[in-house]
């Protein structure tokens, strides 16, 4: 863990190193993923069989080895403890309500020149949802990806998920039942992304792929963009907590560890205006790690990537936060509103001492699939719009073409495109 002070003459250089540090896939992974995708495109199901055995120890032979049925998902849902079932249902209800409010409206109007114009929003036909297995088998991620797609009106929802040694997570299956997933294929990794994008003998291709995964999955999505749409290229999790000394240091320590426990490459950063408070938080982190089930992962993340920044005043925090453009930003201060208005770049902002980021991961409503790696400078979290596309339309009558057509002719000639000009001129005559 690094401690920085904004009053230190070397602060700008040290902070810039943190901002520019990359914790994502390297060129070796890109080459490996390229080869896997090429094999899936060429060999289809045969390649999936090979890679599933190699990477997951799972044999794909019988149909039951390939798919998880709706009946099995229903059984997993029925077998849940009532408290857990109710929690998933509450999360699903809140996620759906928030995303239903995102649905865009079609436009249809006629302007002063008599030109009718507008746009129609339609869902994609099929969406592929990647659901991790192993370390990150999270039912919340399935809900966060599948529910916006359903709200958008996508007719075919296809989940791909690795099942190491043939084992699947019953919570994920229960979430799939709640979300109304149509297909679940027991394949994962970069090869699953290739199967969704290109299609194989068994798996029909989709139009959009969303969902988190490891570095290989993220790289596969990056390489498949253009063949299909993707939500984003997601990297390791991040949290930035801006906190004053009036917080309970134990709470802030838990908030920082909530992201550190995701992965050894996750990053947790605290900005505070009180050095003594920073030291208290550091002590609380050390103490909590002694009893945390995910301590090995969280400790590695905190030791390698954790940062504490002490500023003279919290007004300095805004510029630092905008430079970091973090996935999650907590504003643990008495009055977070003024500070929030100065945060231009963040995946999601959590306001006040009683709003831990973890609530947003599960039941708040907004999507927890958020841009990482400073991409919040230009990208947004997953939404209904990721599963929709807009088609514009135009309609002119004689009068409207007479009004604006000559300008189109002039521009076409200026660009050296006489056929463009003629297609308008003929109608004007």
Which residues form the catalytic set? 327-328
CA distance 272 to 312: 9
The CA distance from 92 to 18, in Å, is 36
Cα-Cα-Cα-Cα dihedral of 367, 369, 375, 376, to 10°?
A: 20
Q: What is each CA distance from 374 to 18, 59, 313, 329, 342, in whole angstroms?
A: 11, 39, 24, 12, 17
**CA-wise closest residue to 193 among 370, 24, 67, 38:** 38
CA neighbor of 145 nearest in space, from 206, 92, 198: 92
Assess contact for 390 and 108: CB atoms under 8 A.
Answer: no
Residue 412 structure tokens = 């076409």
Both tokens of 164, joined, read 């190491």
**Which one-letter DSSP state was computed for residue 294?**
T
d(CA 51, CA 162): 11
The rounded distance, in Å, linking the Cα atoms of 29 and 286 is: 34
For residue 240, what are the β-bridge partners?
269, 329
Q: Write out the E strands in 53-115.
A: 107-110
Q: What is the DSSP string of 213-257?
A: --HHHHHHHHHHBTTBEES----S-EEEEEE-TTS-HHHHHHHHH
| Rounded CA separation 237/219 (Å) | 16
| CA-based radius of gyration for the chain | 25
Q: Pick from 160, 102, 130: which is nearest to 232 by CA?
A: 130
What is the rounded CA–CA span in Å between residue 164 and residue 110?
57
Could you tell me how far CA 229 lies from the centroid of its own chain?
A: 13
User: Which contiguous run of DSSP H or E holds residue 21?
Assistant: none
Distance between CA atoms of residues 75 and 107, nearest Å:
44
Residue burial 303-342, b: 16+ Cβ < 10 Å; e: rest? eebbbbbbbeebeebbebbbbbbbbbbbbbbeebeebbee
Q: φ, ψ for residue 344 (rounded to 5)?
A: -90, -30
């Amino acid at each position: 863990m690094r401690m920085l002070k904004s009053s230190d003459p070397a602060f700008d250089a040290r902070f810039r190193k943190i901002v520019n540090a990359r914790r994502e896939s390297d060129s070796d992974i890109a080459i490996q993923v390229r080869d896997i995708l090429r094999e899936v495109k060429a060999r289809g199901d045969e390649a999936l069989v090979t890679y599933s055995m190699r990477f997951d120890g799972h044999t794909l032979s019988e149909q039951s080895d390939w798919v998880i049925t709706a009946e099995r998902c229903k059984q997993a849902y029925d077998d849940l403890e009532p408290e857990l079932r109710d929690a998933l249902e509450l999360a699903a209800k809140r996620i759906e309500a928030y995303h239903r409010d995102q649905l865009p409206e079609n436009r249809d109007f006629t302007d002063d020149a008599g030109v009718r114009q507008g746009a129609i929003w339609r869902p994609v036909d099929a969406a592929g949802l990647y659901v991790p297995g192993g370390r990150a088998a999270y039912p919340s991620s399935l809900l966060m990806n599948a529910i916006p797609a359903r709200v958008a009106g996508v007719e075919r929802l296809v989940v791909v998920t690795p099942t190491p040694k043939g084992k699947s997570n019953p919570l994920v299956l229960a979430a799939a039942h709640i979300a109304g997933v149509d297909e679940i294929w027991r394949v994962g990794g970069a090869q699953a992304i290739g199967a969704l994008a290109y299609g194989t003998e068994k798996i029909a291709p989709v139009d959009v792929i969303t969902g988190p995964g490891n570095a290989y999955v993220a790289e596969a999505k990056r390489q498949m963009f253009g063949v299909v749409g993707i939500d984003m290229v997601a990297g390791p999790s991040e949290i930035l907590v801006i906190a004053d000394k009036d917080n309970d240091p134990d709470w802030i320590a838990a908030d920082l560890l909530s992201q550190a426990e995701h992965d050894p490459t996750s990053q947790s950063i605290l900005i505070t205006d009180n050095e003594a408070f920073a030291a208290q938080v550091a002590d609380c982190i050390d103490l909590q790690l002694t009893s945390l089930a995910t301590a090995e992962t969280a400790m590695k993340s905190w030791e390698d990537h954790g940062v504490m920044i002490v500023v003279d005043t919290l007004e300095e925090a805004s510029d630092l936060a905008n430079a970091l453009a973090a996935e999650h930003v907590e504003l643990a201060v008495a009055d977070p509103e003024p500070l929030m208005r100065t945060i231009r770049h963040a995946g999601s902002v959590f306001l006040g001492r009683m709003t831990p980021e973890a609530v947003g991961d599960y039941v708040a409503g907004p999507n927890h699939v958020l841009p990482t790696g400073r991409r919040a400078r230009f990208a947004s979290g997953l939404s209904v719009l990721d599963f929709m596309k807009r088609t514009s339309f135009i309609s002119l009558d004689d009068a409207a073409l007479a009004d604006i057509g000559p300008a189109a002719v002039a521009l076409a000639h200026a660009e050296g495109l006489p056929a463009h000009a003629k297609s308008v001129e003929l109608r004007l005559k």
